[in-house]
Amino acid sequence: MNAPEPFAGETAHSPVRHHILSVLVENKSGVLARIAGMFARRGFNIYSLAVAPSESHARFSRVTIVVDAESAPLEQIVGQLDKLVNVVAISDIAPREAVERELLLATIQTDVANRTSLLDTLANAGAAIVDVDPGAVTVMLAGTPGACDDFERALEAYAEVELHRTGRVALPRLGRTIPATVEQ
Amino acid sequence: MQLTGAQALIKSLEQQGVDTIFGLPGGAILPVYDPLLDSTIRHILVRHEQGAGHMAEGYAMATGRAGVAMVTSGPGATNIVTPITNAHMDSTPLVVITGQVATSSIGLDAFQECDITGITMGVTKHNFLVQSAHELPRAVAAAFHLATTGRPGPVLIDVPKDVAQSTMEWWYPSGVDEYDLPGYHPTVDLDEAAVARCVALIGDSQRPVLYVGGGTLKSRASGELLAFAERTRIPVVTTLMARGAFPDSHAQHLGMPGMHGVYAAVTAIQRSDLLITLGARFDDRVTGKIAAFAPDAKVIHVDIDRAEFGKIRRPDVALQSDIASALRAFDAAGASPKNLDAWWREIRQWQADYPLVYDEPEVDGPLRPQHVIESIARTAPAGTIVASGVGQHQMWTAQHWAFEEPNTWVNSGGAGTMGFGVPAAIGAKAGRPERTVWCIDGDGCFQMTAQELVTARSEGIPIKVAILNNAYLGMVRQWQEMFYDERYSEVYLSPDLPDYVKWAEAMGCVGLRATNVKEMNDVIEEANKINDVPVVIDFRTDSSEKVFPMVPAGVSNDEILVHPSQRGGAR
Ligand SMILES: Cc1ncc(C[n+]2csc(CCOP(=O)(O)OP(=O)(O)O)c2C)c(N)n1
Ligand SMILES: [Mg+2]
C-alpha cells in the first residue's frame, strides 16, 4: 500500500482523519488479496491492517482496516468493500467511539551503561521484557496507538535492533452510539 | 448417482438452462469436453478464445441471459481476459469456465499454469478456484446468481483438472440459501424517504432531463421508462450503453449525450435544473470536464450499485434500487415536474438549429459512412440487432441507426475494445437466431477478430458484416488531424490490403464490395437476400470523414463542436 505522508504533528500510526473499518470476511483463500487489490486499484489508502480469526473461527475472519478518510470519501471505500462478495459485514467505527489497541515489540541492545535508564523507560510506559540475552532485550507494549507512539519515541534514545507494530485492532466503545453495520 | 466432476459441471450448466457454450478445448479442460459430447448444450468452437468471450457477451446483450464461455488454462485463460474486462466495464452477465492444472501442481509453474483467479480479481464481479468435485454444482449455481443479479457482471470458475476427473455424489443446491454467499445481498428495500425526496425534486423542476444509462436495460425497465416519460413529458437522453432503452422515433427522445452526442441532448443536460439519472455512471465520455457538467442541475441518482453514488458527481438524492422499481414508485407517487412548455421550446430550437447532419455523398464515391449506415438500417427488418467495433464507425452507428427496442444494440462501451463487433454479432445471432444481425465494423477492428467468421460459417450462423473501409484507424486519425496538427502517426492501413472480398470468400462467406452509391444499394439488397451464410461487404468510405458533434476530451460540454456546415452564427 502506498503510505501517504503523515499529517502535520502526527505520526503515520495515528493520522488525524483516520477511520476504522471492522470488516467481517469469509475465511476463504485470496480474501486478503481481494481487499488489498481493491484498495490499490481504487487509490484508497490503508494505514494499517490486522487480520485474525473471528468469533466463529472456521467460517469468518475479522479484518481491522485503518483507512485514510482523506484519500477518498468513506462511503466510497465502504461501498466498494461491500461489493466484494466475500465481505460479510462492515462496521465503521469513528475513532472517538472506539476502543483501539496495538501491540509493539522491540529488541534493544543493552549494556551496563544504559540498563538502568532502560528499565525506567519500560516501567514508565508499562512495557514488559519478554526475552533477554547478554547483549539485548526484547520488550513488549500493548496499549493505545498513542501510547505506542510515545514509547516508540522514548526508545529512540537506544540502539534498537528491530521494532515491530501490529497495527491497531478496535471494537466499539461500550454504551456509545451503535456503529453503522452495513450488512449482517 | 456418482458423477465425475466434469460430468457434474456439464450437468450443472444444463440445470441452469444453458443452451450454448462458446469455447475451445485444451489440456486442462479436456476432461470437461468429454461429457459435453453427451449433452444437449450446443458448443460453438471458436478460432481464438477472445472470440469466445465476445460471443458470450453478444449472446448476453441480445438475450438478457448470462453468456457462457469455456477455455483451457494458461494462454486459453489469458486470451479471454479482454472480454472479461469488457464485460466488467459494461456490466454484462458472463460465466467463464477455465481449466486449471491439477491442484497438486498449482504454484509449481506447471505446464500451462497461470493464476487466472489472481489475474481477473480486478475485472470480475467474483471468481472461484474450485477445490473439489463436490463443490462444482454450488460454484456453478452461485456464479449464475452473481452474474445475473444486482449489478450484473462476469464471474469466472477455475476448474483444476483433477477436480474434473475425481468423482462426487451428484447434488444440486436447491436455492440461494445453499449458495454459500453470506456477503451477497443483491436486492434492497426501496428507501421511501429517498423516494419522497426524489418526488419533491421532480416537483420543483422546470428543466428536467431523464439521463438514461445501461442499467435501465439491465433492469428491463424500458416499459416503465416509457410510461414515466410520457406521463411527465420529461425529455430523454440515452447513453451509448442505453441505446434502445427508449425508442429513437419517440418525440421526447433527444438522442445520445456525450463526446459524440447530439447537440440538443448534450445541451439539454448542460442547461438542466434536474438530472434524473437512471443506471448511468457519469462516465467521462458523457460528462466532459466534470466541474463544468450540468452546472445548475440537481441530481437524482438511481442505481442498484451504491458505490456509484458520489463516485464522480455528488447526488442530491441517491436511491439504491433497480430502475424499474424506482420508476414505478415515482409513478405511484405521481411525481410531476412544473409546466415544461418553455423548456421544450428551447429544446426544439436546439434540435432545429443543430440536427445530426453529414455531407451528401457524391455520385461516384467515395461513400459517406453515415449514409451507408442509414441505408442498411432503412432496409433492415424491424428488430434487427446491430453490433459494432470501436471507433468512428461505432459512433456513427450509435448516432444514425434508429434503435426502437431494448437489446438490439451490442457494443463495447466502457472498455472500447476493438475487435468486439464480429464475434459479438455471432454470439447475438446464436442467441436470437430469428433476428437479422448486422455488424457495422471498422477496417481496423475487422482485422483483429475476423477469423471468427470461420466459426460463423462452420456453425451456420449467418451474420452480415459491413466494413466501413476508410483505410485508417479512423478515430485515431481524427484526433491526430484535430489535435496533433494533422501529423498522422501509424494510422494508415490501406484500403486494398487485405483484400476483404477474397478474405471473406476464403472464410466461406459471401464477399461483396461497393465503391459508389449505386453499388452500395445493390450490395445491400444482395446481402439482405442471403440468409444461409455470413456476408461481408467492403464499403469504400471517405477517409477524411470525421465524427461530429464532438466535445474534445477534458473540455466543457458547452464547447461542443458541431458539424462544419453548422458553424458560424452562434456556434
Ligand atoms: C484493442 C484496442 N486497441 C486500440 C484501440 C484504440 N483505438 C480506438 S478507435 C481506433 C481505430 C479503430 O479503427 P477502425 O476499426 O478502422 O475504425 P474507424 O475509427 O476507422 O471507424 C483505435 C486504434 C482500441 N480502442 N482498442
Ligand atoms: Mg477504419
Q: Where are the domains of chain B?
A: 2-178, 192-353, 369-540
Ligand 1 within 6 A of CB of B543: no
CATH class of B2-178: alpha beta
Which among A34, A79, A87 has CB closest to B307? Answer: A79
**ipTM score of the complex?**
0.92
Instruction: Provide, as residue numbers in chain A, all residues whose Cβ is less than 8 Å from the Cβ of B88.
Output: none
Average pLDDT of the segment spanning B66-85: 98
Ligand 1 within 6 A of CB of B369: no
What pLDDT is recorded for position A6? 34
Closest-approaching ligand to the CA atom of B373: 1
User: Around Cβ B190, how many Cβ atoms within 10 Å?
Assistant: 15
**Cα(B470) to centroid of ligand 2, in Å?**
5
pLDDT of residue B54 exceeding 70, the answer is: yes
B374: helix, strand or coil: helix
Average pLDDT of the segment spanning B478-496: 97
Segments of chain A with pLDDT less than 50:
1-15, 179-180, 182-184
Measured distance CA(B121)–CA(B174) in Å, rounded: 28
What pLDDT is recorded for position A9? 31
Would you call B182 and A26 a contact, using CB atoms and an 8 Å cutoff?
Answer: yes
Q: What is the pLDDT of residues A35-71, one digit of tens each?
A: 999 999 999 999 889 988 876 667 999 999 999 888 8
**Cα(B414) to centroid of ligand 1, in Å?**
14
Comparing CA positions, the residue from A100, A18, A146 lying closest to residue A154 is A146
Q: What is the pLDDT of residues B351-372, one digit of tens each?
A: 999 999 999 988 887 999 999 9
Cis peptide before B247 (omega within 30 of 0): no
Which among B183, B307, B309 has CB closest to A86? Answer: B183
Active-site residue B399, yes or no? no
Amino acid B430 reads: A
Q: Is A85 on the interface with B (CB under 8 A)?
A: yes
B62 neighbors B411 (Cβ within 8 angstroms): no
What pLDDT is recorded for position B464? 98
The active-site residue out of B448, B475, B507, B550 is B475
Measured distance CA(B422)–CA(B517) in Å, rounded: 25
Instruction: Provide, as residue numbers in chain B, all residues whose Cβ is less than 8 Å from the Cβ of A34.
Output: 121
**Per-window interface: A 30-69 vs B, CB < 8 A:** 30, 33-34, 37-38, 41, 59
Closest-approaching ligand to the CA atom of B393: 1
Residue of B259, B390, B396, B492 to test ligand 1 pocket, by largest number of atoms within 8 Å of CB = B390
Helix axes B369-379, B517-529, angle to 10 degrees: 30
Task: Tell the residue nearest (CA) to atom 11 of ligand 1.
Answer: B473
Q: Is A126 on the interface with B (CB under 8 A)?
A: no
Counting from 1 in the atom list of ligand 1, the atom nearest the Cα of B446 is: 15
Measured distance CA(B43)–CA(B168) in Å, rounded: 24
Average pLDDT of the segment spanning B422-443: 98
pTM for this structure? 0.95
Would you call B183 and A29 a contact, using CB atoms and an 8 Å cutoff?
Answer: no
Active-site residue B89, yes or no? no
Burial readout B285-313 (b: 16 or more C-beta within 10 A, e: otherwise) = bbbbbeeebbeebbbbbbbbbbbbbbbeb
Task: Tell the residue nearest (CA) to atom 4 of ligand 1.
Answer: B418
pLDDT of residue B154 exceeding 90, the answer is: yes
C-alpha cell at B241: 450503453
Element containing residue B468 per DSSP (H, E): strand B464-469
Measured distance CA(B136)–CA(B124) in Å, rounded: 19
Instruction: Provide, as residue numbers in chain A, all residues whose Cβ is less than 8 Å from the Cβ of B305.
Output: 79, 83
The active-site residue out of B7, B16, B49, B259 is B49
Average pLDDT of the segment spanning B509-518: 97
B63: helix, strand or coil: helix
**Cα(B99) to centroid of ligand 2, in Å?**
36
What pLDDT is recorded for position A1? 36
B570: helix, strand or coil: coil
Ligand 1 within 6 A of CB of B444: yes
Would you call A89 and B183 a contact, using CB atoms and an 8 Å cutoff?
Answer: yes
Give the CATH H-level superfamily of domain B192-353. Answer: TPP-binding domain (3.40.50.1220)
Cis peptide before B495 (omega within 30 of 0): no
Which among B117, B122, B183 has CB closest to A85? Answer: B183
Instruction: Provide, as residue numbers in chain A, all residues whose Cβ is less than 8 Å from the Cβ of B129.
Output: 29-30
Chains A and B: how many Cβ contacts under 8 Å? 46
**Cα(B392) to centroid of ligand 1, in Å?**
8
Domain B2-178 and domain B369-540, same fold? Reply is yes
Active-site residue B298, yes or no? no
Q: What is the pLDDT of residues B267-283, one digit of tens each?
A: 999 999 999 999 999 99
End-to-end Cα spacing for chain A:
28
Average pLDDT of the segment spanning B7-23: 98
**Per-window interface: A 148-177 vs B, CB < 8 A:** none
What pLDDT is recorded for position B291? 96
B558 neighbors B295 (Cβ within 8 angstroms): no
Would you call B306 and A183 a contact, using CB atoms and an 8 Å cutoff?
Answer: no
Share of chain B above pLDDT 90, in %: 98
Would you call B310 and A76 a contact, using CB atoms and an 8 Å cutoff?
Answer: yes
Q: Is A28 on the interface with B (CB under 8 A)?
A: no
Q: Is A104 on the interface with B (CB under 8 A)?
A: no
Q: CA gyration radius for chain B?
A: 24
Q: What is the pLDDT of residues B292-303, one digit of tens each?
A: 999 999 999 999
pLDDT of residue B538 exceeding 60, the answer is: yes
CATH class of B369-540: alpha beta
A30 neighbors B121 (Cβ within 8 angstroms): yes
Measured distance CA(B559)–CA(B546) in Å, rounded: 17
SS3 content of chain A, % helix, strand, coil (to 5): 25, 40, 35
Strand-pair category, B94-100 with A60-68? unpaired
Give all domains of chain A, ordered by start, each with its CATH number: 7-96+177-183 (3.30.70.260), 100-169 (3.30.70.1150)
Ligand 1 within 6 A of CB of B21: no
Which among A75, A83, A86 has CB closest to B310? Answer: A75
Would you call A37 and B125 a contact, using CB atoms and an 8 Å cutoff?
Answer: no
B236 neighbors B250 (Cβ within 8 angstroms): yes
Q: Is A133 on the interface with B (CB under 8 A)?
A: no
Ligand 1 within 6 A of CB of B470: yes
Would you call B122 and A41 a contact, using CB atoms and an 8 Å cutoff?
Answer: yes
Ligand 1 within 6 A of CB of B545: no
Phi, psi of A113, rounded to the nearest 5 degrees: -70, -40
Residue B550: DSSP 8-state: B
Task: Tell the residue nearest (CA) to atom 9 of ligand 1.
Answer: B391
C-alpha cell at B157: 470458475
Most A CBs within 10 Å, among B115, B116, B117, B121, to test the A interface: B121
Measured distance CA(B367)–CA(B542) in Å, rounded: 6
Q: What separation in angstroms does the CA of B565 have from each of B263, B264, B356, B396, B470?
A: 14, 17, 11, 17, 22
C-alpha cell at B521: 444499394
Closest-approaching ligand to the CA atom of B394: 1
Task: Tell the residue nearest (CA) to atom 13 of ligand 1.
Answer: B473
How many Cα atoms are found within 13 Å in the side-chain-facing hemisphere of B233? Answer: 15
B386: helix, strand or coil: strand
